[in-house]
Amino acid sequence: MQFIKKINGNHGPTRVFVGGVHGKEGLTTIEPLKQLSQMDVLNGKLILFNCPESKYISTLDPDYYQTKMGQTIIKIIEKYRPEIYVELHCYKPSSYQKLINLNRKDEAGVPPLIELEEGVLISSVAPYLRTELFKRDDVCITLEMPCNPSENSKKVYFEIMQQIATSNNRKEFEAKLRVKYPKQVERARIYAAEFFGEYPSF
């Protein structure tokens, strides 16, 4: 289900949150996107875009960015040039182990996602987007929860979205995340150093 909303605050960073980038994930991501409000954006802008249903092609597949939806996402990024970019996904229970597999780098070419709690996972975005469309110091986050989430999963997912929406930069966001998830923040730093070299955690 497609949904577009722009929230303008005072001077500050531009943030783009994109949900449901493939398959039927948008049916799950639209709810937390709609919950974000002006109260969550003290500074800068927040652009919310939930994608309509589309054929499922992994964002790790270079061909994804040749599809209509992939091209739409690239155009959104090029139009708004966000300093903070978030992709909202959901996953089937059968995919959980594959997403957090410590051998994911060898099998899929990217580091494993990191579980915060309640099945909510976090990582950076697809390497193509991270290295080709964003600057090194931009914040790029993938956030995942089960496609049929529990109320606890929804709560954690939305809390992380709020933390990102109210942050002006990486330092602020990582400080908020580190309060409750210090081990996960450190693991993200290690994964980024191993995979991206000089790039930061997200």
* Each residue's pLDDT tens digit, 33-52: 999 999 889 889 999 999 99
Query: Global pTM?
Result: 0.94
* Each residue's pLDDT tens digit, 108-117: 888 999 999 9
Number of domains within the chain: 1
DSSP assignments along 132-181, one per residue: HTS-TTSEEEEEEEESS--HHHHHHHHHHHHHHHT-SSHHHHHHHHHHH-
Do the domain assignments include residue 153? yes
- The answer on pLDDT for 141 being more than 90 is yes
Do the domain assignments include residue 72? yes
Do the domain assignments include residue 113? yes
pLDDT of residue 98: 94
Domain that residue 45 falls in: 3-196
Q: How confident is the model at residue 29 (pLDDT cuts 50, 70, 90)?
A: very high
pLDDT of residue 202: 78
Do the domain assignments include residue 19? yes
- The answer on pLDDT for 199 being more than 80 is no
pLDDT of residue 196: 73
Do the domain assignments include residue 202? no
Count CB-CB contacts under 10 A for residue 55. Answer: 10
Looking at every residue in the chain, the average pLDDT score rounds to: 92
